[in-house]
A and B are shown apart, each in its own frame.
Chain A
Amino acid sequence: MSHEMTDPETLAANAREKLESIRSREAPLTTRDRRAIERQEMPSQAPEVRRSNMCEVALGLTPEQAQIEAMRCIQCKNQPCVEGCPVRIDIPGFIKQIAEGNFQGAIDIIKQNSLLPAVCGRVCPQEEQCQAVCTVGKMAKDVDKAVSIGRLERFAADWEREQGTFEVPEVKPATGKKVAVIGSGPASITVAADVRREGHQVTVFEAFHRPGGVMIYGIPEFRLPKSIVDLEIQTLTKMGVEIKTDFVVGRTRKLTDLMKKDGYDAVFVGTGAGLPKFMNVEGENLVGVFSANEYLTRSNLMKAYEKELADTPIYPSRKVAVLGGGNVAMDSARTALRLGAQEVHIIYRRTMNEMPARVEEVHHAQEEGVVFDLLQNPVRILGDDHGCVKAIEVQRFELGEPDASGRRSPVPIPGSEFMMEVDTVIVAIGNESNPLIRQTTDGLTVNKRGNIIVDDNCKTSIDGVYAGGDIVLGAATVILAMGEGRRAAAAINEMLASKA
């Protein structure tokens, strides 16, 4: 796709014209008319420009574009899209408001179900959720032609933020009860807000010096501006939530001591899936091999991309191999480009179809020049005399016979190994749950992968202790973490209400 199609000025001008012509019509839009409206492209920074800056790639629909895009929705009676959304946002409802130009009305509807629309509109895997089942896309037999629900959600949230009219949610009178929230990712932010609203005192404990979880240290600025996350945190603070950074529960204080010594009536654990997996191949400890977590944390949280200002160094790379095919791999590859690497390869064992990354991120990575080496898998990493990475040995794969599930899984081709010279390898094959809390909390039940086991109300094996997000689900998504947070908060509120 050439970038002309996403050039902001052209897109805005086209949309103004289009909207005029729709408005000047006599008859209301029929379903047929709506289906004939083309999907509005997202205005974006041109690839050759953005690959050398950290600013956001997707610039957001213009108000005219948003209205036109909203008109594509045919307001299905059965609302399949709502079922596709993990938090059941009233999608036709808010889209109708946008189509009518009532942007405030739209955001009010969204906020009944979602606390982080500016974030989810940007990072949700929409093509697998709400948009996957959208009737408009189904009728066109192309999920890319579905109504851009995520972009519209983002539009409404950004519009509200830009108005500066954002109101701090109301907080009920103090109940005298105290709730501790561990971690400050999307699950925890949601719990903190929902519990605080009921008038309980809430303290968020975050191990890092800056709150926000993966949204701050993992997902890069060019995909999710940190100012958006900071604003969500500020809202919490304005609601009277106390945020204690530099506080590692399990070390600075044990979870059970928060209840026993510090008098918290309930605890929510939202500590995420922060334990990087490695491949266990030879050479993985060489200088120049990083977990994606380390690479991204150095760049995002520690701001290493500001090379002149930041004290935290980042490895100077020329040619990089990123192992994996998820969002984390895309983020690492695109960060490496922006930090000055000349050539970046994604090495992935399967094909494009199985890549778990959001479609938009894969697409953006391709536009920026990331090379996709599919059906390939690393065998070992080779070092030079100083213990630094100099090459990676890779084996080719092919798709084998369909297995029981009908999926053709990749099988290695014997003798197909070859060497690729690289100076950096970033391992982005996923995260497991961090063991710190379970190691330091007696009686907390976890499954064999180390995820905390909870019941339907997000309650753990310990009374008063709830958990949600990646620490329960394994590495999942922002919206699922938020959804669990809502459920946990409701259960905590109910539990506290029943305690006189």
Chain B
Amino acid sequence: MPLILEKKQLSADVFRLRVQAPLIAEERKAGQFIILQVNDGFGERIPLTIADADPAEGSITLIFQRVGKTTRLLSELNEGDNIAHLVGPLGKPTHVEKVGHVVVVGGGIGVAPSYPIAQAMKQAGNKLTVIMGARNKDLIIMEDEMRAIADDLIICTDDGSVGRKALVTEPLKELCESAEKPDLVIAIGPPIMMKFCAKTTEPYAVHTLVSLNTIMVDGTGMCGGCRVNVGGEVRFVCVDGPEFDGHKVDFDNMMSRLKSYKEQEHSKSCKLDAAIKAKEAEMAQ
């Protein structure tokens, strides 16, 4: 059972874990993810991107946002605890090559999965521009890490509390119109953001990759739960992706599929909330 070596809270709902996983650390490449299960009996399997890895130490780094029951349970684990199951690295690695100017757009928690890709693109000799977006200042994560590798870093917030008061698509559009038109854009974040990034670059014919975060079960191509429509064809995100040509993805279908279990997940989360509140009340007594 993989051991948690370090835990750090990055913002109100975002956590970073360094987890022991020597084989995965050795084999993983940028763009790949793992699937974990917090507890053995009735736990759910959830995918998380490998944000970083240290093969010498035999560890990988996961950065996740607390959004529902399983990420909540994960956020309650501490250093020295074990995660019941962790399997990977899954998915196809990012195709990394020198193309010229690469723009990486990370929205919200999407900054975490975009980091290893940005890093690999920089190492391959590309000029790297990073655009990071979040609702406000407190939700910006990994600014220092990104600043260390990017030739240019543009931060946008919805409320202007830091960086530009804009959506990430604004600077992206400007870049597409500029003399430094990107040769490749990689957009990772909420589906709606990826959809509009792809829409932004399409008129300029700038190749745009998006990393899809569909619901998954096995992560090995066995269930088809992660399927998406890409250019009219059915593709499985866990084995054919997670990266696809953003100009070809049917985002509307993907977004409706993501909501398949919304009610059930909501009720699970509420029950957990109630249980935690009850426990806190008990401990306060």
Binary interface profile of A, 246-289, with partner B (CB < 8 Å = 1, else 0)? 11100111000000000000000000001110101000111110
Q: In the assembled complex, which residues on chain A have CB atoms less than 8 Å from the CB atom of B268?
A: 311, 313
Known: A311-B44, A311-B70. A285 touches B87 (CB 8 A): no
Q: Is A310 an interface residue (CB 8 A)?
A: yes
Q: In the assembled complex, which residues on chain B have CB atoms less than 8 Å from the CB atom of A302?
A: 44-45, 217
Least CB separation from A280: chain B residue: B234
- Determine which of B86, B223, B264 lies in contact with A294 in the assembled complex, contact meaning CB atoms within 8 Å: B223
* Nearest chain A CB to B140 CB, angstrom units: 30
CB <8 Å contact, A247 and B221? no
CB <8 Å contact, B42 and A386? no
- In Å, the complex CA distance between A207 and B238 comes to 14
CB <8 Å contact, B217 and A434? no
CB <8 Å contact, A248 and B221? no
* Nearest chain A CB to B183 CB, angstrom units: 28
Least CB separation from B68: chain A residue: A311
CB <8 Å contact, A276 and B222? yes
* Nearest chain A CB to B263 CB, angstrom units: 8
- Residues of B in contact (CB 8 Å), total 43
CB <8 Å contact, A294 and B45? no
- B interface, CB within 8 angstroms of A: 23-24, 27, 37, 40-45, 69-70, 84-90, 217-218, 220-225, 227-229, 234, 239, 250, 252-253, 256-257, 259-261, 264-265, 268
- In Å, the complex CA distance between A291 and B225 comes to 8
CB <8 Å contact, A209 and B87? yes
Q: Is A316 an interface residue (CB 8 A)?
A: yes
Least CB separation from A303: chain B residue: B42
Q: In the assembled complex, which residues on chain A have CB atoms less than 8 Å from the CB atom of B217?
A: 294, 297-298, 302, 312
Known: A311-B70, A434-B221. A388 touches B256 (CB 8 A): yes
Q: Is A351 an interface residue (CB 8 A)?
A: no
List 14 additional A-B contacts (Cβ < 8 Å) besides A251-B89, A290-B225. Answer: A207-B87, A209-B40, A209-B85, A248-B90, A248-B220, A252-B24, A252-B87, A252-B89, A275-B222, A276-B223, A278-B224, A287-B257, A290-B224, A293-B222
Known: A209-B37, A251-B27, A285-B229. A315 touches B220 (CB 8 A): no
Q: Is A245 an interface residue (CB 8 A)?
A: yes
Q: In the assembled complex, which residues on chain B have CB atoms less than 8 Å from the CB atom of A316?
A: 264
Q: In the assembled complex, which residues on chain A have CB atoms less than 8 Å from the CB atom of B257?
A: 285, 287, 387
Least CB separation from B261: chain A residue: A313
* Nearest chain A CB to B270 CB, angstrom units: 13
**Does more than half of chain B's interface fall in helix, strand or loop, or is it mixed?**
mixed
Least CB separation from B255: chain A residue: A387
Q: In the assembled complex, which residues on chain B have CB atoms less than 8 Å from the CB atom of A251?
A: 27, 88-90
CB <8 Å contact, B45 and A312? yes
CB <8 Å contact, A285 and B227? yes
Least CB separation from A273: chain B residue: B222
Q: How many A-B residue pairs have CB under 8 A?
A: 116
**Does more than half of chain A's interface fall in helix, strand or loop, or is it mixed?**
loop
CB <8 Å contact, B221 and A436? yes
Least CB separation from A277: chain B residue: B224
CB <8 Å contact, A276 and B224? yes
- Determine which of B42, B85, B88, B225 lies in contact with A252 in the assembled complex, contact meaning CB atoms within 8 Å: B88
Q: In the assembled complex, which residues on chain A have CB atoms less than 8 Å from the CB atom of B225?
A: 290-291, 294
CB <8 Å contact, B42 and A309? yes
CB <8 Å contact, A207 and B218? yes
- In Å, the complex CA distance between A386 and B262 comes to 13
Least CB separation from A244: chain B residue: B23
CB <8 Å contact, A207 and B220? yes
CB <8 Å contact, B23 and A253? yes
Q: Is A360 an interface residue (CB 8 A)?
A: no
* Nearest chain A CB to B34 CB, angstrom units: 9
CB <8 Å contact, A387 and B253? yes
Least CB separation from B271: chain A residue: A308
Q: Which of B223, B227, B239, B261 has the most CB of A within 10 A?
A: B223
- Determine which of B24, B40, B256, B265 lies in contact with A387 in the assembled complex, contact meaning CB atoms within 8 Å: B256
Binary interface profile of A, 346-390, with partner B (CB < 8 Å = 1, else 0)? 000000000000000000000000000000000000000011100
Q: In the assembled complex, which residues on chain A have CB atoms less than 8 Å from the CB atom of B44?
A: 302, 310-312
* Nearest chain A CB to B248 CB, angstrom units: 14
CB <8 Å contact, A313 and B264? yes
Least CB separation from A245: chain B residue: B85
Least CB separation from A316: chain B residue: B264
CB <8 Å contact, B261 and A315? yes
Q: Is A464 an interface residue (CB 8 A)?
A: no
Q: Is A421 an interface residue (CB 8 A)?
A: no
Q: In the assembled complex, which residues on chain A have CB atoms less than 8 Å from the CB atom of B229?
A: 285
Q: In the assembled complex, which residues on chain B have CB atoms less than 8 Å from the CB atom of A436?
A: 220-221, 239
CB <8 Å contact, B220 and A287? no
Top 7 A-B pairs ranked by shortest CB distance? A387-B256, A294-B223, A311-B44, A274-B222, A246-B87, A313-B264, A313-B261
* Nearest chain A CB to B258 CB, angstrom units: 9
Q: In the assembled complex, which residues on chain A have CB atoms less than 8 Å from the CB atom of B89?
A: 251-252
Least CB separation from A284: chain B residue: B234
* Nearest chain A CB to B114 CB, angstrom units: 21
Q: Is A47 an interface residue (CB 8 A)?
A: no
CB <8 Å contact, B23 and A287? no
CB <8 Å contact, B90 and A287? no
Q: Which of A294, A306, A309 has the most CB of B within 10 A?
A: A294
Least CB separation from A253: chain B residue: B23
CB <8 Å contact, B260 and A294? no
Can you report 16 residue pairs joining A to B where beta carbons are below 8 Å apart? Answer: A209-B45, A246-B85, A251-B89, A251-B90, A252-B89, A285-B229, A290-B225, A291-B223, A294-B217, A302-B45, A311-B70, A312-B217, A313-B268, A315-B260, A315-B261, A386-B259
* Nearest chain B CB to A81 CB, angstrom units: 35
Q: In the assembled complex, which residues on chain B have CB atoms less than 8 Å from the CB atom of A284?
A: 234
CB <8 Å contact, B42 and A246? no
* Nearest chain A CB to B225 CB, angstrom units: 5
- In Å, the complex CA distance between A297 and B223 comes to 8
Binary interface profile of A, 110-128, with partner B (CB < 8 Å = 1, else 0)? 0000000000000000000
Known: A252-B87, A287-B259, A290-B225. A208 touches B218 (CB 8 A): yes
Q: In the assembled complex, which residues on chain B have CB atoms less than 8 Å from the CB atom of A247?
A: 87
Q: In the assembled complex, which residues on chain B have CB atoms less than 8 Å from the CB atom of A287?
A: 256-257, 259-260
CB <8 Å contact, B42 and A248? no
* Nearest chain A CB to B275 CB, angstrom units: 13
* Nearest chain A CB to B219 CB, angstrom units: 8
* Nearest chain A CB to B168 CB, angstrom units: 26
Q: In the assembled complex, which residues on chain A have CB atoms less than 8 Å from the CB atom of B253?
A: 285-286, 387
